[in-house]
Amino acid sequence: MYEFTNNWFQDEAQYSWSEILNKYKPGRALEVGSYEGASACFLIDTCSKHKPFELHCIDNWKGGVEHTKWALDMEPVFERFKRNVSLARSNASHHAKVMTYVGNSDLALAGLLYQGNAQSFDFIYVDGSHIARDVLADAVVSFKLLKIGGIMILDDYLWHQKPPFEKNILQIPKLAIDSFVNLHLDVVEIIRAPIYQTVIRRVK
């Protein structure tokens, strides 16, 4: 049984993802920001039903601004991620390969590009840093890794820090997501835009 300390993914994203993943059936996926592995496990569970599946997970497991301000210990989070993903792989219907990159997303994404992975992913989930400039950088570089016809989900559209921390437009994803989508309007179509996630499809 998976070990998650919150149910956000299950409550807010799982239903929408199920429809998308079963329609497009990605065989190779990338996620920026993995935390305890809720999204990774759901990807493995769902996508491996159709065919062998490959997942690349990027996270520094140091936490973002919201974690450091609350002094959250991230080491147990990483251990839960490893246990959860190992369980998902052992229960996968087809072979599931998982590549884990422990480090900052800018370097990991650049490394994937350098290694010849441009336009090679069917599905990309961007849910790393909440700092606007980081979100924009993750989205722009990740898009270069996305196949034509591939799906990208940008998370935390309306996320903001909780009191007592100040709400700062530069420390929320909305500005970055709006900027990214507007700058790519000629090469993407918006599949859906629920309150907290924006789903796009690369068309060229």
Identify the pLDDT of residue 168.
Answer: 83
Which has the closest alpha carbon to 89: 54, 121, 57?
54
Task: Express each pLDDT in 118-149 by its tens digit.
Answer: 999 999 999 999 999 999 999 999 999 999 99
Cβ-based neighbour number of residue 158 at 10 Å: 12
**Cβ-based burial of 96 (10 A; exposed 0-12, middle 13-18, buried ≥19):** buried
Give the 3-state secondary structure of residue 144: helix
Residue 67 confidence (pLDDT) above 60: no
Give the 3-state secondary structure of residue 56: strand
Task: Specify the range with the lowest mean pLDDT, choosing from 16-20, 82-86, 122-126, 191-195.
Answer: 191-195
Identify the pLDDT of residue 68.
Answer: 57
Task: Express each pLDDT in 74-111 by its tens digit.
Answer: 999 999 999 999 999 999 999 999 999 999 999 999 99
Q: To the nearest 10°, report the CA torsion of 58, 148, 201, 16.
A: -60
Task: Specify the range with the lowest mean pLDDT, choosing from 56-60, 162-166, 184-188.
Answer: 162-166
Whole-structure pTM value? 0.94
Identify the pLDDT of residue 195.
Answer: 72
Q: In the chain, what are the domains?
A: 8-202 (3.40.50.150)
CB half-sphere exposure, 57, CA atoms < 13 A:
24
